[in-house]
Chain A
Amino acid sequence: MRLATARKLSAHAAVGFAFASISAEGDVPVPLVALFAAVLIGSYFADGRIGRGRGALLTALTGAAFAVLAALWLTGAMDLVVSASLFAAALAANRLLSRQSAADDGLLYLSALLMLAGGAALSADLLYGVFFACYSASATTALTLSHLSRVVEEARTPRQVADSLVSGRLLAGLTGLSIAALGGAIVIFFAFPRFTSGAFIRLPKPAQGASVGFSEQLRLEVHGVLKTDPRPVMRFTVRPDPGQEHAGLLWKGKTFDFYDGTGWQSNAPRREPRRYLDFSEQAEGDTRFRVEVLGTAGTNAVFLTGRMVRIDSPRYLRRGLRRPMLFFVADALGDVRVRPEAPEGFKYELRARAPLGPEKLRGRGDEYREGIERLFLQLPEGLDPRIAELARRLTAGLEDPYDKALAIERELSRFRYTTELPAPAADPLAHFLFERRAGHCEFFSTAMAVLLRAAGVPTRNVTGFYGGLRDEEGSYVVRAGDAHSWTEVYFPEVGFVPFDPTPPEGRLADTSSLLSALIDFYERASGPWRNFVVDLNFWDQVRAVRSVFRALSSGLARFQGRTGAGAAGLFNYLGAAIALALALAVAKRLWRLPAGAERRVRWKSDRHAARVYRMLLRRLAARGFSKARSQTSRELARAVADSGAPFAPIVELVTERYLAARFGGRPLGADEARRLRQLLRF
């Protein structure tokens, strides 16, 4: 491969990856992505011909781009970081089109680096990490090749000589260099103390690609989430760990109390914000959850499950200074949201118990408080009379509200689940119950709630998620396709209890595709990325250092065969001293490496010279010229010369070369030593 080609390839790759890092989150409009891709590919093949003689035009276009981006930012139509990153992209495009030689590459790499930094501010996704690693490898290679090309150009080195540089050895070296750069970046990343000042903080942007909505209304003829949408929206861990593959939990996000004939509404008054909410007394056997609601959920709804005991510790998924503290805000229906908005996601801890079984629910009677009846027995005027008739028929002979709920649930489970939307109907519920007998989960839950209300049992409709598939780390992942709707039935002294009339095949997301497998893999990799990179903080660093010292001290203690509190402190210091000494030794070794190499050469030269001279002495001894202890090397050579021996010139030559190698600073190489030994075969 030619040096120029290798340089161009790596430079374009570096710029491409840098641009990809700002586009990863979808902040860059698609036409601009396409335009930049065209410039990248076109400039690779045009090799500077496009910009030749059009420097002024390109500068004017870059200036225009700056003006437009600045205007978009000033009018609030575009985020500052996006504008700045796009301007860096415009600069890069200018350089790509106009560069004629390696000397023009400086600004290109700088603008690529600007884009990479912009991408860091725009995205926290694993995809950014992938682009970062690719950029690191390609930019390191590109910078090195660019430097080589520049020297070649300045020295007017013939092309053949320059191209001969691009060998397997150089490519291996560049690979090593890239790995070293990335490795160094990782080490510095973890070692750099996370002290932050927070003078300028970028406001969080709205979540991109949010998939699930939990608004104040629910329309039956519309559903926003497809069962095939595999994007994770929530992740939770359970303690004690149930060990099940599928958690099978209902996560309530939004409750509706008012049915208007075509859908549900709620407008419950909200209460004071709190850092924690207690629902009942905590007990030893409570199940504890750690829940993360991801930015893809696009909601600030707090998802609750089972019989709630307590929620607390609301936190942002991505840390940052000067962010207002998160609070829980509950409303009169028991729904909870976080305030302020956390578009990049949030997390919290939750205690709950399993729902009560039938034995606890039967026999609670049907004496309801006035407020309960008013709110949760509400039915719209003009409700299709067939619905009330159906409710009566299904609950005929049943007195207990629990039995009524079971009967209706059983009846609805005979209906067919489908995500295909029905044809528009004046009364979608009646259409579902009496004509189509098929629909999505919201039809099932609405039907059950309305039928029970018609049968005099207070109910409400609930939306949220059903599921949670276990991943390899032991946490459960809930996807956008797991969005679900069910019914809650009121039991005196117990409260609302969930019933799910949707047939089981309609509850879970369809995640069997290759896409979801890929997304699973990506999500699994995202966990460590988020935990160890995105969320790393000062205390994590302190903990890591402590654990290193602990490991060192315990290792030393084991080595010494003694343990104890007194020794532990000492070993801590000892461990620190050893680590420091090791670090210094490595640093010194790196710093002095070349000097060491020179010493090695000298040492080898001395060895060769001594070997040659020993051979000379052996040869002379065989010819009757033994070296006396008091005789110097030159005196011996002179004695041989005075004797008129025919090999005297060889003796003199070898002696002088030996002295020059040992004491004259002229190292003797292996080849020369071999030639001298051949001479000594006289």
Chain B
Amino acid sequence: MREERRRRRRLRFTREGWYYSLFTLGVGIAALNTGNNLLFLVLGLQLSAILISGVLSESAVQGLRLERVLPADPPARGGFAVTYRVRNLKRHWPSFTLLIAEKDGPFAGQRASVLYVGPDGRAETTLHTSVPRRGRFQLDRLVVSTRFPFGFFEKYIHVSVPDELYVVPARVRPLERRARGGCRDGERPEGRAGRGAELHGLREMRAGDDRRHVHWRKSAAVGRLLVAEREHEQRRRVVLLVDNRGPEPGDWLEGPLEQAAAVARMLSGRGLEVGLATSGEYLPPASGPVQLKRLLRRLAELGPAQSSGPAPDPKREGALAIGAGGGAA
């Protein structure tokens, strides 16, 4: 996400900066005290270094355009990489030793560094991090700082780059279930003709039937043209029942949610239509990566509901209950 607006610059002293400033103060007092011009010369050098430090560090953090590239819904406790792209808009001045960190959010304070961005140049850096808990996180301000050139002071600005990060429940080992029936994984015969893979029956060929469906061996045996009818198969639908009614805080919910996410990943991977029913909420079953993403994001956000709230309702679909102990029903 690109930046939208920026805030005012700020300054922070490093440990060396404190020592240096105190020493400068001491030399200043000594120079004023004694009138020794050479001490004034030393003082001049120190103040000059402070001034240069201010100008160069200001130049380093200004004139930058920032972009944050987030991974797609990383799991909690799993490592992931956040990429920051920096473009230096300055025509002649490079930017050295930039440190980029999130001001807020789950990995606030962790820094990624960019050693050098040339004039009108681009650079990118990656922050390898992880988030301990699932959730939906609003990311906004980036802190861009530098201690260039001497490391005495850290000049930093806050740059607003609004973004949203879903950290889905951590990856755990799902409970194994065997698929039943002779159809493909995730599909179920319904006992009527359709366009499935299983054979439903044979009948006389009628006008409009596709010749490719003619069952030539049987037709030859009986002397009439017979066509093969296929079984009508419906994609298998599963609704994960997560009973999230319980007390705050919802730590007890983490295990079932991780298990639900693991099962959802597994079933979705097998082509099943997977839905989610929680207390008062229902996500209809569907298949595909978009549905899985939707489901995992819902699980990422899910918090405990009131104990008196409605029980999860699978709406007549095949249900897979995920209990507090992570068991299946």
Contact = CB atoms under 8 A, between A and B. Distances in A.
Interface in A195-227: 195-202
Contacts, number: 175
Interface stretch (A291-299, A429-437, A509-517, A594-602): A594-602
Contacts of B96: 148
A182 B34 contact: no
A184 B116 contact: no
A146 to B, nearest CB: 7
A143 B39 contact: no
A599 to B, nearest CB: 9
A595 B149 contact: no
Contacts of B92: 597
B15 interface: yes
Interface string B77-93: 00000000000011111
Contacts of A597: 62-63, 89-93
A185 B44 contact: yes
A25 to B, nearest CB: 12
Contacts of A113: 20, 23, 42, 46
Given A186-B44, A594-B58, A154 B113 contact: yes
B40 A189 contact: yes
A590 B42 contact: no
B36 interface: yes
Contact of A595 (B20, B36, B62, B115): B62
B44 A184 contact: yes
A194 B45 contact: no
B306 interface: no
Interface string B43-82: 1111111011001101101110000000000000000000
Contacts of B248: none
B308 interface: no
Given A120-B39, A165-B116, A595-B63, A600 B91 contact: yes
Contact of B59 (A114, A143, A594): A594
A189 B41 contact: yes
A121 B42 CA distance: 11
Nearest to A198: B33
Q: Give the interface size class of chain B.
A: 35 or more
Contacts of A320: 34-36
A197 B151 contact: no
Contacts of B63: 594-595, 597-598, 601
A535 interface: yes
Contacts of B55: 590
Given A201-B34, A202-B34, A147 B148 contact: yes
B84 to A, nearest CB: 13
A533 B39 CA distance: 11
Contacts of A154: 113
A124 interface: yes
Given A106-B15, A148-B96, A188 B47 contact: yes
Given A140-B49, A196-B32, A117 B42 contact: yes
A591 B58 CA distance: 8
B58 A155 contact: no
Interface in B129-169: 147-151
A151 B149 contact: no
Contact of A188 (B44, B62, B147): B44
A594 B88 CA distance: 10
Contacts of A140: 49
A8 to B, nearest CB: 17
Interface string A132-161: 100010001001101110111011010001
B175 interface: no
B19 interface: yes
B16 interface: yes
Given A186-B44, A192-B43, A597-B90, A534 B52 contact: no
Given A147-B151, A198-B33, A601 B115 contact: no
A113 B56 CA distance: 22
A377 to B, nearest CB: 52
B47 A184 contact: yes
Interface string A46-80: 00000000000000000000000000000000000
B93 A199 contact: no
Contacts of A591: 58
A258 interface: no
Chain A CB within 10 Å — which of B30, B41, B116 has the most? B41
A122 to B, nearest CB: 9
B193 interface: no
A186 B59 CA distance: 23
A106 B15 CA distance: 9
Contacts of A180: 48, 52
B207 interface: no
Nearest to A192: B40
A33 interface: no
Chain A CB within 10 Å — which of B27, B40, B51, B120 has the most? B40
Contacts of B40: 189, 192, 194
B43 A150 contact: no
Given A155-B113, A185-B48, A594-B93, A143 B41 contact: no
Interface string A573-590: 000000000000000001
B33 A196 contact: yes
14 contacts: A106-B151, A121-B39, A147-B147, A148-B97, A151-B115, A165-B116, A177-B149, A188-B43, A189-B37, A192-B40, A192-B43, A200-B33, A533-B38, A593-B62
Given A132-B45, A181-B49, A198-B34, 11 more contacts: A106-B16, A110-B16, A110-B20, A140-B49, A155-B115, A189-B41, A194-B40, A321-B35, A593-B59, A594-B93, A665-B2
Interface of B: 2, 15-16, 19-20, 23, 27, 30, 32-49, 51-52, 55-56, 58-59, 61-63, 89-93, 96-97, 99, 113, 115-116, 120, 147-151
Interface of A: 106, 110, 113-114, 116-117, 119-121, 123-124, 128, 132, 136, 140, 143-144, 146-148, 150-152, 154-155, 157, 161-162, 165, 177, 180-189, 192, 194-202, 319-321, 533-537, 590-591, 593-595, 597-598, 600-601, 665, 667
| Shortest Cβ-Cβ A-B pairs, 4 listed | A594-B62, A184-B48, A120-B38, A196-B35
